[in-house]
Structure 1
Amino acid sequence: MSIRKDFLRLIGCMPLFFGLFSTAIAQDVITRADTLRGSITPERAWWDLNYYHLSVEVFPETQSIQGKNLVRYQVKEPAQILQIDLQQPLNITAVKQDGVELSFRREGAAHFISLKKSQEKGAFNELEIFYEGKPKVAVRPPWDGGITWQKDSNGKHFIANSNQGIGSSIWWPTKDHPADEVDSMLISVTVPKDLIDVSNGRLRKVEENGDKKTYHWFVSNPINDYGVNISIGDYVHFGEEYEGEKGTLTMDYYVLRENLKKAEKQFQDARKMMEAFEHWFGPYPFYEDGFKLIEVPYLGMEHQSAVTYGNGYQNGYLGRDLSGTGWGLKFDFIIIHEAGHEWFANNITYRDVADMWIHESFTNYSESLFLDYHFGKEAGQEYVRGTRMNIANQSPIIGIYGVNRRGSGDMYYKGGNMLNTLREIIGDDKKWRSILRGLNEEFYHQTVTTRQVENYISQQVGKDLKPFFDQYLRETSIPVLEYYYSDDKTLNYRWTSCVPAFDMPVDVTLGEEKIRLQPRTSWQEISVKRQEELVLDPDYYVGVSKMR
């Protein structure tokens, strides 16, 4: 298998959805189901999520679940039809408001509930949604999404969900659109008493009832639906306290009993991650809910305050260095990448899946910043440059809005190289760090659009960066610096293969002299001492071409 094909096979799980986005791109026809899933429909627009209490019992022997979700919401504008999503083969068995059973109409995953109570602007109301069935089994988690039902080496059940691409409504009834995050949430999971459930937030209590136990986890911060998780197994726990920027942070680790010794060694990367990312991105965004790392029967995912892990207790990505430089074997890829999403995905969340680059480009780039912090800047630069071999440049990074269509997988490594190029343009690492930290402060616990991120960075840099972002996010071509000497002392240069307004500065070396050029799409010229070979600063993700 070629390096390119091998990469495409491997990288698919970086929450890991590579197979999912390629399927989405291949679907040229936009369906009614796509619109119902990906748009803010009238039946979603009039109400704002406030609180969930998800209660679910898991039956491992039959691979089925049963439960209810209490949904508290605030009325923004009066309406009487409300959309809740739950995917087949699960079924909603009843919906109640104030004890009164309500009728609903199902259209695929969308359920349109007819409310009887008057919905007055500003009021807080509640729904109880009862459901049951056998949720979709994840065949190749986390690529296709669903529930994974496995057993550990001791024959104990080992169960977890992974559903970023397919949606949280694959296993529980939700307002399955990223624009509206619930403000807080209680997750109550009932399992056989020989098992433990670990979910998001902090454990409030455990109730025992015969041969079952119910674990109650409370999330005090806003949370995206796809980040809600259940992880069930014969877990053992260990942990530590980290003195961070906002005080004492609890860091808890849940692993299979058989892997405790391995985890005690491998999970030391979690503390290193926290130190590096608080430096670059600012305080961990969820001190109130703590940080957890949980072993699961698939590769891993960025569940908020409950990051899941299945990288086999080895460095790299399943033991491989995706940069080809050797630096990728200095850290456990899943710990660093998935935890990086706490800042970019869980703190700052896309409002539409078309803007998924906000999650993946910054988090991919966080891998090189981890190396930068612990091994020096050049280590991080070598790593990010090495990942360019994995860029396809076949379709744009940004997807299609309003229909649940993410962009291409280039949002990972092309996006990371785009951000590294921006760092070079700024040329001031203190400023660059302040921008990364400022993003997490400006958009703290918010859903955002690409334009908001672009505008914030442009304001901080003091330059309109729209052409820059248009080039890297919305086009497939890479800008090429074209140059020639018109005489011994005149260098002519311009940008080609780029959007018309592209005017990015670039650093080059002529002989032994380092200079910054200011190319545009029209020819520019400068005087030089003599004709010298032009060498591009390798940290810019651009091409170079000398005209003969």
Structure 2
Amino acid sequence: MLAQSPPPLAQRTAQTDLPLDGPRADMLLPEVRLAIAVDPENRSISGEARYLVEARETLESLAFDLDPRFRISSIRIGQRTLENSEWANPDGLLGIALDTPLAEGASTHVFIAWEGAPHIALNPPWEGGFVWERTPSGEPWIATAVQGEGCDLFWPCIDHSSSRIGVIDTLVTVPDGLIAAGNGALIETRDHGDGTITFHWRARDPSNYGVSLQIGPYQMASRDYHSRFGNIIPIRFWHLPESKDGAHRLVAEMATYLDFFEARIGPYPFADEKAGVAETPHLGMEHQTINAYGNRFRRDPLGYDWLLQHEFAHEWFANQLTNATISHMWLHEGIGQWMQPLYLEWARGRMLHDAEMWRIRQRLHNRVPLVSRDGTLPDYNDQDSGWGTDIYYKGAWVMHSLRFLVGDDVLFPALTRLTYGTNNPQPGEIAPVLRTTDDFRAILEDMTGDDLAWFFDAYFYRAALPRLIAKREGRWLDLRWETPSDHDFAMPLELQTDGELRRIAMPDGSARVDLGDADTHFLIDPHNRILRYDEAIDETD
């Protein structure tokens, strides 16, 4: 029986992470072999995919997501080729009939062949799809960027954050003179003698949107990084010939990123494959082990390449730690964004950290919650809601305030546990984890012994920022938090008086402080550690 009542085509193909139901919810993909031939002149692709499908529960049928602009030429289950009447894909949900149910725990091989002209990205990477460009010397320069729209824009997949592939072999065939930089480790290249060459890559545990095609007349800059964990990590940067100097500079910079992330969070998760980058015609994207980079090697007065550092952060916060649903996307973007001021603090000092936090603070919208309680979210690109911005910048500022609340000795070990599922991750023993905001709360509560419902409700499930009401009467200062939350907002405050810095506890959301003298000058939150409403910022257009 085929899946019934799928979402309309415009919705299915335009948005990833739609509800995981029907056969898609009960299909595991331990192995995928994805072969794609790319025709730059006609802007088309043809593909053949072989899947090992394992049933989580008994399956009456199978289902994959695939943009229906492609023509499916063949589907095979085991050794049997299906008749056209045994499958249908009019709406982007490819339903495949089974002769007999696939029992729980059983597996079968599925083969799908398709071809066509993929959707062209309108504004990559924000509005994604295929990118067909030319290098400055006129050669084909091709990339995919499908985070918001999903892997189904160019191959049959289960388009949901929670669906990971055990091992994927990606075989990309391109015209001679081009190189396809891919996910994972390069297994072989095969020259067919007919003007085409195939690049065979193998990756473990990739996220669906992290599977990518990045193709051009590339050269490679490389070095090996000797990790503090005792292993060696290959750094590889595929770049256009005219970008040689910039690529070699950034390869050296990437070694500092590795040092920082491994010191702060833990071992690089994909050291057995590579830390890879490919120069692309669009700005960037966190494709697992082959990040897209299009920042044009511009130097920055902060002393680092913000784009490359941000995308590399996603190897930990997106590719290793993956949000269980798109509702928790701040775990990718907010924590990843926060890694930038943290890196500046580590590499260049506190002043640059504070300068970056101040820049970020001015970009918050606070119109909708960071996390939806019912899974209903505004569109990422909806400028009115600002959700697609707040998951970065508000998420980063929530982490900044959380650092003040619990301290480094709690927060960074908590991030390690959140990211790896263990307190002591070791190279060779790392597998990706799916996480929600509640998972983070549970870890922090376990480590602190405190109930943090008040913090998570106010910052993640409410749009408006907490407001601090301060009223002075002579030597007395009355402080009170106001939030839309039903919980008392128990955020403590730092108070500076005549050179003395005090931490003021506010367990019920209020406090009365003796300033000692009616003329005492005071300053609340002098280091700007708490995310709260600020009229000077939040009332400025």
Q: If the length of structure 1 is used for normalisation, what is the TM-score?
A: 0.87
Q: Name the residue aligned to 1:80.
A: 60
**Residues 127-158 of structure 1 deviation map (CA, whole Å, 9 limit, x = unaligned):** 11111100001122112101111111221110
- Alignment partner for residue 417 of structure 1, among 375, 385, 397? 397
- Matching residue's letter, 1:536: I
The aligned runs of 1:147-296 (5 Å cut-off) are 147-209=130-192, 210-219=194-203, 221-244=204-227, 245-296=229-280
Q: CA deviation at 1:36?
A: 9.4
Shift of the 246–41 alpha-carbon distance from structure 1 to 2, 3 Å rule, reads farther
Q: CA deviation at 1:290?
A: 1.2
Q: Name the residue aligned to 2:496.
A: 509
Q: Name the residue aligned to 1:69.
A: 49
Kept in 2: contact 1:349–1:446 (CA 8 A): yes
Q: CA deviation at 1:402?
A: 5.2
Q: Distance in 2 between matches of 1:275 and 1:44?
A: 39
Q: Distance in 2 between matches of 1:232 and 1:431?
A: 43
Report percent identity of matched pairs. 27
Higher mean C-alpha displacement, 120-129 vs 355-364? 120-129
Q: CA deviation at 1:535?
A: 1.5
- Alignment partner for residue 312 of structure 1, among 277, 286, 296? 296
SS of corresponding position for 1:396? coil
**Residues 257-283 of structure 1 deviation map (CA, whole Å, 9 limit, x = unaligned):** 121122112332211111111111100
- Alignment partner for residue 499 of structure 1, among 478, 482, 485? 485
Kept in 1: contact 2:73–2:113 (CA 8 A): yes
Q: CA deviation at 1:520?
A: 5.3
Q: Name the residue aligned to 2:522.
A: 534
Kept in 1: contact 2:15–2:149 (CA 8 A): no
Would you say 1:479 and 2:463 are equivalent positions? no
Q: CA deviation at 1:112?
A: 1.2
Shift of the 36–379 alpha-carbon distance from structure 1 to 2, 3 Å rule, reads closer
Q: Distance in 2 between matches of 1:138 and 1:42?
A: 29
- Alignment partner for residue 42 of structure 1, among 6, 22, 26? 22
- Alignment partner for residue 470 of structure 1, among 457, 476, 497? 457
The aligned runs of 1:449-468 (5 Å cut-off) are 449-468=436-455
- Matching residue's letter, 2:279: E
Kept in 2: contact 1:38–1:402 (CA 8 A): no
SS of corresponding position for 2:269? coil
Q: CA deviation at 1:498?
A: 4.2
- Matching residue's letter, 2:434: T
SS of corresponding position for 1:459? helix
- Matching residue's letter, 1:264: H
SS of corresponding position for 1:516? strand
Kept in 2: contact 1:201–1:305 (CA 8 A): yes
Q: Name the residue aligned to 1:438.
A: 417
Higher mean C-alpha displacement, 504-513 vs 386-395? 504-513
Shift of the 215–356 alpha-carbon distance from structure 1 to 2, 3 Å rule, reads same
**Residues 303-331 of structure 1 deviation map (CA, whole Å, 9 limit, x = unaligned):** 00111101011134xxxxxxxxx6xx321
Q: Distance in 2 between matches of 1:156 and 1:55?
A: 23
Aligned residues: 502
Structural RMSD (CA): 2.2
Kept in 1: contact 2:16–2:147 (CA 8 A): no
Q: Distance in 2 between matches of 1:67 and 1:401?
A: 37
Q: Distance in 1 between matches of 2:479 and 2:453?
A: 22
Q: Distance in 1 between matches of 2:415 and 2:220?
A: 33
Higher mean C-alpha displacement, 463-472 vs 278-287? 463-472
Higher mean C-alpha displacement, 251-260 vs 500-509? 500-509
SS of corresponding position for 1:225? coil
**Residues 488-529 of structure 1 deviation map (CA, whole Å, 9 limit, x = unaligned):** 333221101342312111212123221112235664323331
SS of corresponding position for 2:209? helix
Kept in 2: contact 1:352–1:401 (CA 8 A): no
SS of corresponding position for 1:514? strand
